[in-house]
Amino acid sequence: MLSHFLRAAAGQTGVKFISKTDVDQSATSSFAITTPAGAANGDILIVFFSQSTSRTNFTNANFTNVYTAGPATNPSGNTKGVCSAFVLTGAPAASYTFTCTLGTTAVAASMLCYRPSRTITQSAVFSTTTQSGTSLTAPTITASVAGLLLCGYFVDTFTGAITPPAGMTVRTNFNGASATRALCVTELSVPTGATGTKIATIPTSTAWNAGSLILPKV
**pLDDT the model gives residue 196:** 92
The whole-number pLDDT of residue 180 equals 66
Task: Report the C-alpha gap between 180 and 195 in whole angstroms.
Answer: 30
Closest CA to 105 of 20, 176, 168: 176
How many Cβ atoms sit within 10 Å of the Cβ of residue 102? 12
Who's near 186: CB < 8 A, 6+ residues apart? 150, 151, 153, 164, 165, 168, 169, 170, 171, 198, 200
Residues 17 and 113 sit within 8 Å (Cβ to Cβ): yes
- pLDDT reported for residue 100: 85
The one-letter amino acid code at 83 reads C
SS3 label, residue 120: coil
**Residue 104 domain boundaries:** 2-216
How confident is the model at residue 19, as a pLDDT?
A: 96
Residues of the chain with pLDDT under 70: 1-14, 53-54, 71-78, 117-124, 157-160, 176-180, 216-218
Quick one: pLDDT at residue 123? 59
Each residue of 110-151: pLDDT tens digit? 999 998 865 445 556 777 777 888 899 999 988 877 788 888
The one-letter code for the residue type at 188 is L
CA-to-CA distance for 130 and 24, rounded, in angstroms? 22
Task: Please say whether the beta carbons of 84 and 47 come within 8 A.
Answer: yes
81 and 140 Cβ atoms separated by less than 8 Å: no
Q: What is the pTM of this model?
A: 0.86
pLDDT at 55: 74
Q: CB within 8 A of 132, min separation 6: which ones?
A: 205, 206, 207, 208
Cα-based distances in Å from 157 to 86, 135, 142, 182, 183: 29, 15, 32, 8, 11
Domains contained in the chain, number:
1
Q: How far apart are CA 56 and CA 65, in angstroms?
A: 12
